[in-house]
A and B are shown apart, each in its own frame.
Chain A
Amino acid sequence: MKTTTVLLCGVGGQGTISAADILARAIMGAGMQVKISEIHGMSQRGGAVTTVVRFGDDVKSMVSDLGCADVVVSFEVTEAMRCVSHLAQEGSMIVNVEHIKPLPVLAGKARMPFKGEDYLKDLGALLVPAHDIAVSAGNPKTMNVVLIGALSKRLDIPVEVWEEAIAGRVPPKTVEANLAAFHAGRAYIDTL
């Protein structure tokens, strides 16, 4: 079995790590081996963050190389543009439609990329308004689980395994809201 690579990227504090945790639980629930690699440290302070999840029956390297990620899930548009180089030729890209200006832009030293969403769409990215979907599903804090729902449509893991992974990871009081967000994310991909 070929090792599958999922790259989750975003801005520090957006919830990429808990999303990676849910993904890893689902992978283990499906009986596969998994490695999760994250970079800590200075990236916590509002910098770009990436978490790599690799799975299969015998996972070796824990990093994502250029042109190797089967799925890139980006929590932010600019970060998706920064990570396009990791996407494999046949890979899928799921991008949360959110724009967070980095400090050089805030300080007027740089500009946000020109027509970023159109560019990503041309590359075949699935643009997901995860915040709005989470709000409609009942809880804006479940934005990252909406993206997990979208991701689940691109990976061969049974729905009930995903549901169990989510229920096991999120606070007990929020299980229902998170499952609603998960299914809303899945349903959105079906509409595209």
Chain B
Amino acid sequence: MILLSGNEAIAQGAWEAGATIGVAYPGTPSTETMEQFAKKEGVYAEWCTNEKVAVEVGLGASAAGARVLSTMKHVGVNVAADPLFTAAYTGVNGGYVILAADDPGMHSSQNEQDSHYYAAAAHIPMLDPADSAEALIFTKAAFELSERFDVPFMIRSTVRLSHTKAPVECGERLAYTLKPYEKDAAKWVMMPAFAKPRRKVQLKRIESLEAWVEECNYNRVIEGAGKIGVVCAGACYQHVAEALPEASILKLGVSWPLPKKKIVDFAQSVDELYVIEEGSEYLTNAVKACGVTVCAPANALPADGEVSPRIIREAFGFKLPAFEPVRTDVPARPPALCPGCPHRIVFKELSRLRAIVTGDIGCYTLGALAPLSAMDTCVDMGASVSMAHGMELALAGVDHKPVVAVIGDSTFGHSGLSSLVSTVYNQGTGTVCILDNRTTAMTGHQGNPFNGVTLQNRLSRELDLEAVVRALGVADVRVIDPNDLDAVRSNLKDATTNDELSVLIFRSPCILLEKVHAEPFRVDASCTGCGVCVSIGCPAISRDEDTGIAGIDPIMCVGCGQCSQYCRFDAIVCG
């Protein structure tokens, strides 16, 4: 027995099943799955530019006969939805398994979605492991099932499965040989003439899946001494089992299609049937659709966020343990841009410009928080560029503040490229800042096309970001050192006042990539306590609560010198 996180167990399961190819785009809580898979013997793994590309690469590899793993976070499934829905028509050749890692409670996401709906809508079977041991077993089995039913299989995880380490028994790797590839246009060319018969194949497949799911031992009843029954799936089962030890539980390991007969039989075996799930009505509605009555607990379960044993016990009206309330004077501790982060000055200057800033997904989303407060929108990968164009369209006839899109290098590669092409094509005139910190920082420093680093450190070529942007048709492209205040300020001013589309590439590596730091700065006696240095939001700078005099923590300071450029009294000195 070893301790593996759910993500590590999924990677192990795929490897044991003989998968040789892994394709993904990083995203919390899915990222470590592909990172772990990439480290295994005899596999090829790569980061793709986005999840849609990953699923297409995966489907190609499957068509050619390999067993393939793709991993993504829940919002990545949105990006991949296009190939996903049609992959449920083509089916597979080599087994194809796709991880959708959901984030109920939004620990690290812009929304909470239930990927079960994708499985049901696309008619792609979905397995719901409840712990690491099941994650390994289910993933391993999913490859064979994918081949048996000629369809990709999805594994659904949540943050509590993906990021919980639990005991796992590892096994041997199966010997899998590439399945022969044969041209079969009727299966793989989804034009109407071929897609219509494949739709029939898909519908027929649902019948055989529904027969299989009734027999599948991944759906099992854990009998309790009490009279109530609960239907649940995935890691949520652990909370239910702890909160309601007397209840009988129908633990679903396959969440689409559902075992209708098993659900009806289970409902008949208990006095009251409940469904417990997180931030979703998928399971409740699906169970109701089986024709059984679903009871509501005494107090409603929350419609959003995660559940926990306490939340379940509260819903069922049990007595809860007392607790000490948190004092109201405990200050919040939001995450912050790191000391020395090369994004800081750009956000401070955008704040000074009072620009309307359309933001994007990454570390730099933290520029939205006080004291920088320099972001107006953040929706999805690539939205900064397209939303800026939309703002410009709406504000064209009126006097308005400059509109500036801010996007990271990896996010630009993911979805910003096509947005920028659209802006160029439609003669947009705004300002786009690409914060090129040479990595995909937020998810833990993965490679991307613009830093030329690949997942298994294979030979690659680094795309020339400046040349790419020029090739897309942008004439005003500048590369600027974001640690140089004067350069940032003058270029932003110029770009936001000229009449053409400007792309400013602010290039400086993520400070966490730098192993050796410069001498820390310090504040000398000439500090007047004006507070400007504190307004840049560096965790290493503080102010005396009474005098307002600034101080720099010599351990946290990395010697970037950003703050000293803001000091009008030359009070921040090196060494």
Residues of A bordering B, CB below 8 Å: 3, 11-12, 24, 28, 33-48, 59-63, 65-68, 78-79, 81-82, 84-89, 101-114, 119, 123
Contacts and interface: CB of A to CB of B under 8 A. Distances in A.
Nearest to A101: B542
**Among B164, B311, B534, B541, residue most surrounded by chain A Cβ atoms (within 10 Å):** B164
25 contacts: A36-B3, A36-B165, A37-B165, A38-B163, A41-B442, A42-B366, A43-B335, A44-B335, A45-B336, A48-B333, A60-B242, A61-B239, A63-B160, A65-B308, A66-B320, A66-B323, A68-B310, A78-B331, A85-B323, A87-B323, A104-B332, A106-B534, A107-B371, A111-B331, A113-B327
A45 B366 contact: yes
Given A61-B239, A81-B326, A101-B542, A45 B321 contact: no
B323 A108 contact: no
B164 A36 contact: yes
Contacts of A109: 370-371
B69 interface: no
Contacts of A107: 370-371, 534-535, 537, 543
Contact of A104 (B310, B331, B335, B545): B331
B459 interface: no
B298 interface: no
Nearest to A37: B164
Contacts of A59: 166
A106 B108 contact: no
B160 A85 contact: no
A89 B165 contact: no
A60 B330 contact: no
Contact of B331 (A65, A85, A89, A113): A113
Contacts of B442: 41-42
Contacts of A12: 335
A82 to B, nearest CB: 5
**Among B131, B241, B336, B337, residue most surrounded by chain A Cβ atoms (within 10 Å):** B336
A101 to B, nearest CB: 6
B167 interface: yes
B160 A62 contact: yes
The 3 closest A-B pairs by CB, nearest first: A41-B108, A67-B323, A67-B321
Contact residues of B: prevailing secondary structure: loop
Given A47-B335, A85-B323, A103-B537, A39 B308 contact: no
Given A35-B166, A38-B163, A45-B363, A104 B239 contact: no
Contacts of B167: 28, 33-34
A119 B327 contact: yes
A68 to B, nearest CB: 6
A47 to B, nearest CB: 4
Contact of B325 (A11, A48, A85, A114): A85
Interface of B: 1, 3, 28-29, 107-108, 131, 159-160, 163-167, 235, 238-239, 241-243, 306, 308-311, 320-327, 329-338, 363, 366, 369-371, 442, 531, 534-535, 537-539, 541-543, 545, 548
Contacts of B336: 45-47, 103
Contacts of B327: 81, 113, 119
A45 B338 contact: yes
B103 to A, nearest CB: 9
B165 A24 contact: yes
Contact of A114 (B1, B3, B131, B329): B329
A100 to B, nearest CB: 8
**Among A65, A103, A105, residue most surrounded by chain B Cβ atoms (within 10 Å):** A103
Contacts of B324: 84-85, 87, 123
A112 B333 CA distance: 11
B107 A41 contact: yes
A113 B326 CA distance: 11
